[in-house]
Amino acid sequence: MSMAGTTSLLLEVGCEELPARFLEAAERDLGVGLGAALGLLRPPNGDGRVSTYSTPRRLVAHIPSLYAEVPGTVDEIIGPPVKVAFDKEGKPTRAAESFAAKNNAKVSDLKRVSNAKGEYLALVLPKAGRSALEVLVEALPVVVGGLSFPKSMYWTVKAGPRFARPIRWILALLGEGSEARVVPFEFAGVESGQFTFGHRLAGHEPIRVNNFKCYLNDLRDHLVEANPEVRRKRIREELKVLLAELKLRVVPDDFLESWVVNSTEWPEPLLGSFNPRYLALPREVLIIVMRDHQKYFAAEDEVGSLQPNFVTFLNVVGDPQGVIRQGHERVLAARFADAEFFWQADQKLTLEQRIPMLERVTYQAKLGSYADKVGRMKVLAEKICLELEQTRRMTSEQRQNVLRAIELCKCDLTAQMVREFTDLQGIIGGLYAKVQGESSEVSEAIYDHYSPVSMEDSCPRSVIGAVVSLADKLDSVVSGFSAGIEPTGSSDPFGLRRAGNGIVKIAAERLPGLALDLLPAYASGYSIPVAEQSGLGERVRNFLRERVGYYLREVAKLRYDTTRAVVGSALGWSDPSDAALRGRALEQMIHTDDYRAMSQAAKRTRNILIKSAGDYIAGIQNVRVDLLREPEEEKLHEAFTSMGTRLLDLEKQRDYVVAFRELRAMREPIDSFFDHVLVMTDQPDIRANRLALLNSINAQIFSRLADLSEVESEDPNGDELGARDGAARLKR
Amino acid sequence: MPDDAHRSFVSFQDLLARLSQYWADQDCAIALPYDLEVGAGTMCPETFFRVLGSEAWRVAYIQPSRRPADGRYGENPNRLLKHTQMQVILKPPPADIQEVYLASLTRLGIDLRAHDVRFEEDNWESPTLGAWGIGWQVMLDGLEITQFTYFQQCGGIDLEPISVELTYGLERIAAFLQATSNVFDVRWNRTRTYRDLRFQEELELSVYDFEAAETGTCRQLFDLYEKEAWRLLDAWKETGVEIVSERNRMIGDEPVAKSNDEGACQLTPAWAEPKRFPLRKVFEYCLKCSHLFNILDARGAISVTERVALIGRVRKIACSVAAIDVARKTRSLEAQPA
């Protein structure tokens, strides 16, 4: 590729305040979109990399080095070989004529080109080069218009462009210094230009931009730090310094930190305080008021008790007179006064007294009230507890606590505090239970019973809480499926996938050994008839299996193919922690030649068995030694017999690493079996016997711990397509 | 106290006057507060009808707004059953609308350099009106003072051009300007407080909505108003002017409460004529239903499912009204004043 010099690009899309939650993705998408659109202009070295920045009022991309032009290209359309194209006299043949005609050319326009296969007739079409400017004029509006947001708007005309908020200016600068020139284009009624704007408080005059370095510095002079990572660092340091003076530390909060980064152009900390009497309110309430309503960081002392201070980040230079602080303190005091009012009002009725009120709180139109839901949760919990008691993982006293917690756990839905702070459901109930004299086991279980709300969230602390949470989520899924509100495609209005994920996580991390595939049957004790719907149990089981797959990939970080392998194995998915163990053990061996070979053998075995399904079922169930003819099949049978016993041993000890290592001993016998023995022989009894042998090997070895036929030779996580394919297959 | 807001004292009525004057200076017609119970300034005809259609429009008005569920018997320092909004509609919005808005705060005596004003994502929605928009809550030193919305849809109809709707919460702004933490302590003028003018009303309305309201009667009233709305809407069919709302074909599909006075429908009533059709009266009945719904909701008399159904019934009227309004506007069937 010829180089006609290089240039650079600076693009800034100036907007009205973009939602903080969109900013990181929008910045990333701009970089990706631009990089893809300018592929040919970007030198392969690091200089052609797109770096991106953002503030609430701007999305920025910078490419330090771009070719000043895309060189011309030459397209060759290869036609017939020269020896076919011309006859002995050198006249064009029919082949040549028709190739020319097909391409709207004359034979005289065609050229001869040589490649490895020989000399060919070809149509050569030179394509003119284009300057970077020409490319950018076309590409930039497409890139900007291609950004999508979770929620967008139109502001010019209805059919016009959509963006998260209106775009008010566009800086598009090609080259630097005296070379700098605007890439002229129009988007959403805004003409691109050579100007940017500073912080609102730093005046409304446009700032002329000549190069990237000055751009960043000029913005800083105008109270804009365009680099979000610099803002993040500043926020962290300021928090530390500010609180260290008071011997305090911040209650860490990643969500809040990112929110501040993405909602400020110039973050400045402000330390405020509140009346210590509000510290009588529970820590959880204080934090949620400060964090969710006011976006304040809470502060605690060295031993972790909350102090009557908060830190907020302003988007202005400072507050020399303290008026901003006073404003924030007044707002917070009012918020706390509200919370205090709710807390006191709620104490007039205990959770116990609120039980009858649940009959009037609708859970879901077809599924009745929360009183109904609590009844169903009890049915499920009794059976789960019984199962756990039989295996000595729970005592009958703990079962009583589970049932008590279930009785009370939804009562806080009638409390004013929860109506105001819905995210505190469960937590408030737990706190109320504690002050109202319930045992710590019960109040803790109530407190924890919504968790885990995501795969990152932690599980309930105790086995009691785990069972309450499990019963809650299982009921949501079973009764939800029965009412036809199961998730479809991307729609899951009742959050059943999340509930399913919670079930799997609890089973894996708190109640290992609990068989997930038995859970749907526990709902047979429901008094509502929905549980008897035909196929309901099967649908719920399929759903749970899918969720286990999700857990294995997202939490246990298994590959797509290993996930499929363990989920589809004989030991299956029902115990997700065991499935994760098997998957990890398999992954230690999966790269070896032996496993590549065995995976092929397993696939072959499976295919033969599928094709001959009728045959062996009608024939011999167990292998008959007297019908083994060839030495290779005898050897395979021997290997299978000893491996089968050994595998069962290792399986009992759950020593899967050793199991998968020793499994390699099957490679040689199975390979030579396939090399030398014809399975589908004409003799029916011998054929049936061979099929029976393969069937046993398949069941007890190849798909016992993991279905080896699912193992891919290449890591399928490596590319997107593999990943999507994996997900699709798992769903089936 | 070295608070800049104290350099010149701003009473509640000063606030009303200054904001009105500011928006009058921006070419807004200063309309009158609407004389029915509404939950927000958006529900007034000056917003609902004006954002529909293509005609440019600028209007601002003070609007007392009722939210029965927020009633606190006048005891809570911040919550009011009836609060006062300043509603501004700019159609189409100017490109510097944020600056124009911020200048209104300056007019109130707020020094923007000494305070922290933030535009935080908040997308407004009114399910009963089939209306929603994209925008922010404007925060002043942590206090929400304005809802700033790029209106996208009203009565189920995509708007073109869009309008900007600014809704100021005046009690909060007054409390801020006067540096008081209880809105009842806000000075209404030099001699009277907000408490003097409004406390008794807050108390009595709270008592009615939370205790005295008879839910059966409220439901009956809801049904009656709804029925009257549909009696009128059904007559629109007689005009022969077809309406198609973008989302739903509203009129004619299963009217919720049919007029049982079948005889009256035989003849086309004289008022069922496009230019004279009492559409704004239908809208008033829609607002009546909306307010009754709010009272029932505050009483806790509505279950979750019923809630959705009732909201749907109000929205259906609102969307029909919007569809008729747009049909009239696009066919120039509005009456022209003589």
- Residue pair A677/A690 in contact by the 8 Å Cβ criterion: yes
Stretches in chain A below the pLDDT threshold 50 = 1-3, 531, 717-732
Higher pLDDT, A176 or B333: A176
Residues 6+ apart with CB under 8 A from B266: none
- Residue pair A10/A215 in contact by the 8 Å Cβ criterion: yes
d(CA B16, CA B170): 8
Chain B residues whose CB is inside 8 A of the A168 CB are: 95
Nearest CA distance, A393 vs chain B (angstrom): 40
For B176, nearest residue in chain A (alpha carbons) = A327
What is the pLDDT, as a whole number, of residue A611? 84
Helix/strand/coil (H/E/C) assignment for every residue in chain B: CCCHHHCCCCCHHHHHHHHHHHHHHCCCEECCCCCCCCCCHHHCHHHHCCCCCCCCEEEEEEEEEECHHHCCCCCCCCCCCEEEEEEEEEECCCCCHHHHHHHHHHHCCCCHHHCCEEEEECCCEEHHHCEEEEEEEEEECCEEEEEEEEEEEECCEECCCCCEEEEEEHHHHHHHHCCCCCHHHCECCCCCEHHHHHHHHHHHHHHHHHHHCCHHHHHHHHHHHHHHHHHHHHHHHHHCCCCCCCCCCCCCCCCCCCCCCHHHHCCCCCCCCHHHCCHHHHHHHHHHHHHHHHHHHHCCCCCHHHHHHHHHHHHHHHHHHHHHHHHHHHCCCCCCCC
What is the pLDDT, as a whole number, of residue B265? 46
For B157, nearest residue in chain A (alpha carbons) = A158
C-beta atoms of A17 and B119 within 8 A = yes
Residues pairing with B119 in the sheet: B138
What's the pLDDT tens digit per position in B207-249?
A: 998 889 898 999 999 999 999 999 999 998 888 777 765 444 4
Task: Select from B295, B274, B270, B285 the least CA-distant residue to B318.
Answer: B285
Nearest CA distance, A462 vs chain B (angstrom): 33
Q: How far is CA B196 from CA A271, A334, B171, B184, B209, in A?
A: 36, 22, 14, 8, 22
Q: How far is CA A528 from CA A347, A473, A537, B112, in A?
A: 34, 17, 15, 62
What is the pLDDT, as a whole number, of residue B251? 45
Chain B residues whose CB is inside 8 A of the A358 CB are: none
What is the pLDDT, as a whole number, of residue A547? 96
Residue A512, Cβ density class (10 Å: 0-12 exposed, 13-18 middle, ≥19 buried): middle
Chain B residues whose CB is inside 8 A of the A25 CB are: none
d(CA A253, CA A347): 30
Nearest CA distance, A388 vs chain B (angstrom): 37
C-beta atoms of B150 and A327 within 8 A = no
What is the pLDDT, as a whole number, of residue B116? 96
Helices marked H in A15-131 — which ranges?
A: 20-37, 82-85, 94-102
Q: Which of A151, A316, A323 comes nearest B4 by C-beta? A: A323
Phi/psi for A141 (5° steps) reads -60, -30
- What is the three-class DSSP state of A304? coil
- Residue pair A325/A278 in contact by the 8 Å Cβ criterion: no
d(CA B215, CA B225): 15
d(CA B322, CA B52): 7
Q: What is the DSSP letter of A356?
A: G
Task: Select from A13, A17, A46 the least CA-distant residue to A143.
Answer: A13
> B215-330 adopts what CATH topology?
Methane Monooxygenase Hydroxylase; Chain G, domain 1 (1.20.58)
- Residue pair A7/A179 in contact by the 8 Å Cβ criterion: yes
In whole angstroms, what separates CA B123 from the centre of its chain?
A: 16
- Residue pair A443/A428 in contact by the 8 Å Cβ criterion: no
What is the pLDDT, as a whole number, of residue A369? 87
What is the pLDDT, as a whole number, of residue B132? 96
- The ipTM estimated for the assembled molecules is 0.90
C-beta atoms of A334 and B161 within 8 A = no
- Enumerate the domain spans of chain B: 4-212, 215-330
Query: Residues B116-139: what's their mean pLDDT?
Result: 96
Positive or negative, the CA dihedral A86, A91, A95, A101 is: positive
Residues pairing with A369 in the sheet: A362
Chain B residues whose CB is inside 8 A of the A158 CB are: 158-160
Average pLDDT, rounded, for chain B: 89
What's the pLDDT tens digit per position in A576-631?
A: 999 999 999 999 998 888 998 999 999 999 998 888 876 655 566 788 888 898 99
* Block residue for tokens 């000043």: A68
d(CA A450, CA A71): 60
d(CA B289, CA B258): 16
Chain A residues whose CB is inside 8 A of the B179 CB are: 326, 330
Task: Select from A9, A10, A26, A30 the least CA-distant residue to A143.
Answer: A30
Helix/strand/coil (H/E/C) assignment for every residue in A445-478: HHHHCCCCCCCCCCCCCCHHHHHHHHHHHHHHHH
Q: Give the tokens for residue A726.
A: 């994996």
Q: Which of B112, B121, B133 comes nearest A19 by C-beta? A: B121
- What is the three-class DSSP state of A67? strand
Q: Give the tokens for residue B81.
A: 């059953």
Please determine, for residue B7, whether its predicted confidence score (pLDDT) is greater than 70. no
The proportion of chain B whose per-residue pLDDT surpasses 90, expressed as a percent, equals 72
d(CA A299, CA A273): 10
Positive or negative, the CA dihedral A454, A455, A457, A461 is: positive
Task: Select from B104, B63, B105 the least CA-distant residue to B82.
Answer: B63
For B135, nearest residue in chain A (alpha carbons) = A165
Please determine, for residue B4, whether its predicted confidence score (pLDDT) is greater than 60. no
Angle at CA of residue A245, ends A242 and A251, nearest 5°? 55
- Give kind and range of the element (H or E) at residue A69: strand A69-70
For B144, nearest residue in chain A (alpha carbons) = A331
d(CA A459, CA A388): 18
Residues 6+ apart with CB under 8 A from A718: none
- Residue pair B60/B86 in contact by the 8 Å Cβ criterion: yes
Please determine, for residue B281, whether its predicted confidence score (pLDDT) is greater than 90. yes
Length reported for chain B: 338
Q: How far is CA B170 from CA A285, B107, B178, B291, in A?
A: 28, 14, 12, 21
- Residue pair A562/A569 in contact by the 8 Å Cβ criterion: no
Residue type, A699: A
d(CA A324, CA A594): 70
CATH class for the domain made up of B4-212: alpha beta
Residue type, A712: E
Residue type, B141: D
Residue type, B45: P
* Block residue for tokens 């004359």: A106
What is the pLDDT, as a whole number, of residue B109? 93
- What is the three-class DSSP state of A187? strand
Q: Is the peptide bond before A356 cis (omega within 30 degrees of 0)?
A: no
- Residue pair B156/A338 in contact by the 8 Å Cβ criterion: no
- Residue pair A619/A685 in contact by the 8 Å Cβ criterion: yes
d(CA A705, CA A618): 27
What is the pLDDT, as a whole number, of residue A730? 35
What is the pLDDT, as a whole number, of residue B255? 41
Q: How far is CA A170 from CA A121, A135, A206, A207, A425, in A?
A: 50, 17, 12, 12, 45
Which residues of B sit within 8 Å Cβ distance of A? 2-5, 76-79, 93, 95, 98-99, 102, 112-116, 118-121, 123, 133-134, 136, 140-143, 150, 152, 158-162, 176, 179, 181, 303-305
